[in-house]
Structure 1
């Protein structure tokens, strides 16, 4: 191959690389925009991690004193969760 052909090929490859880098940058920006609400929610949960752990530990301690109460609360939570999922499906979200 001649030097001119090699230079042309090299230029095409460099342009292709630049274009792919721009596409990757755009994809990363789109990804960050799409996951921003999740990141925001996670930061909020992380901010309240201490009180959440303290409250859940206190709740487990209180519920563990009466074994029958734990089963009842578990059943209720499963029913509420199932109803919420069905309602969400019916609404269409």
Structure 2
């Protein structure tokens, strides 16, 4: 190939690379905008990580002392969950 052809080909490649970089930048901006609510929610949860870990640790410690309470608590939580679902369906009608 001649120098002129090589220079033209290189120029086309550079233009294509620049266009792809602009597209990637735009895609990153769109991605950040789309995931902003999720990131905000995660930051809210992370803010309370310490108290959540402390509370769950205390709960496990308390429940592990009395094995019967674990079963009763599990059964009650299932009942409460089922009642909440049914109430939500009834209100939604």
TM-score by length of 2: 0.75
Number of the residue aligned with 2:55: 55
Q: Gapped runs of 5+ residues in structure 2? A: none
Give the count of matched residue pairs: 86
Q: Note the aligned Cα RMSD (angstroms).
A: 2.4
Number of the residue aligned with 1:32: 32
How far 1:77 sits from its partner (Å)? 3.9
> Which runs of structure 1 show a deviation greater than 6 angstroms over 4 or more consecutive aligned residues?
none
Q: Gapped runs of 5+ residues in structure 1? A: none
How far 1:72 sits from its partner (Å)? 2.6
User: Which shows bigger deviation, 69-78 or 3-12?
Assistant: 69-78
CA–CA separation in structure 1 for the residues paired with 2:64 and 2:78: 18
TM-score by length of 1: 0.75
How far 1:78 sits from its partner (Å)? 5.0
Instruction: Decide which structure has the larger Cα Rg and report it.
Output: 2
